[in-house]
A and B are shown apart, each in its own frame.
Chain A
């Protein structure tokens, strides 16, 4: 699973920063049938968690209404230098993670 995380490389302490993530995933809804008429089982990323230096700052529960290759964007406050790490899991049990680091200056 390929994912891309984007955040500013550097930010001032207390600054509001934009965090973006895009994950390559088919987000199979479970409502489709293949060419042989067999139901395609649902397989979506059902939960995604974001941690900033280990502390959870964002969590999303996704369902079959989210399009393929989900792209999420939110804001957080730059408190300290370190890492922002995303982890997620899909219905098939496949886990993925991606991280990016930020330097906070005074």
Chain B
């Protein structure tokens, strides 16, 4: 009887410890740029050599060019992006009031495409969408990531946090096993970063192109041999929100350069 009680108590402890898990930021908070080589840091710092700036330049052209639909350009409503887009990327993903759902910056641009430009939404990871996202996010460069959790997005945030801690794939690993518990250690030839998204859309040498944060997160799913969610899947958005909160205070670096 006593033994049974002890077993029951033991079973209770991890369960209550699990549900009381507080969202955690790594300490000290370090951007991914601190985990790459000096050469890559130099590449990101040089606004001309940084290959991501080519996407930003393309985005700048698209910003003032009406493409498809009613021919209205982004600049028609938003004017000069340097002013109107300043700080916007730092507070995304956010709840879109009209759509009553969580959208990231890419999703917000596509909502504008459909609603105000009466054009077709850009495809996920299309050159145009990456260029416009990189251009819009670039206007917040240097500003601290600043996502707040409130009653509107709390459900998404908690789902994102749960996903961050959930073991998955054949490797049976959760995000936190690498990026919370083991950052700074090496995984073969690479140093594990804290896994922040503050540089995205970013140019990855592996891709030889600019890609979204979702593309990078999907690569992690692949790495732990889990099934990759589709681009734009709700679970990726929830995770993006949690990651944005977790990177809170780190400066936006778009377009970052990464391995």
Contact = CB atoms under 8 A, between A and B. Distances in A.
Q: Which of A23, A27, A67, A69 has the most CB of B within 10 A?
A: A69
B56 to A, nearest CB: 10
Contacts, number: 36
Interface stretch (B34-42, B47-55, B177-185, B215-223): B47-55
Contacts of B49: 20, 22, 71
B54 A22 contact: yes
A6 B48 contact: yes
Interface string A5-33: 01000000000000010111011000000
Contacts of A22: 48-49, 51, 53-54
B54 A4 contact: yes
Interface string B42-66: 0000001101011101100100000
Interface of B: 48-49, 51, 53-55, 57-58, 61, 208-209
Given A24-B51, A26-B208, 13 more contacts: A2-B54, A2-B58, A3-B54, A6-B48, A20-B48, A22-B54, A24-B54, A26-B209, A67-B208, A68-B208, A69-B51, A69-B208, A71-B51
Interface of A: 2-4, 6, 20, 22-24, 26-27, 67-69, 71
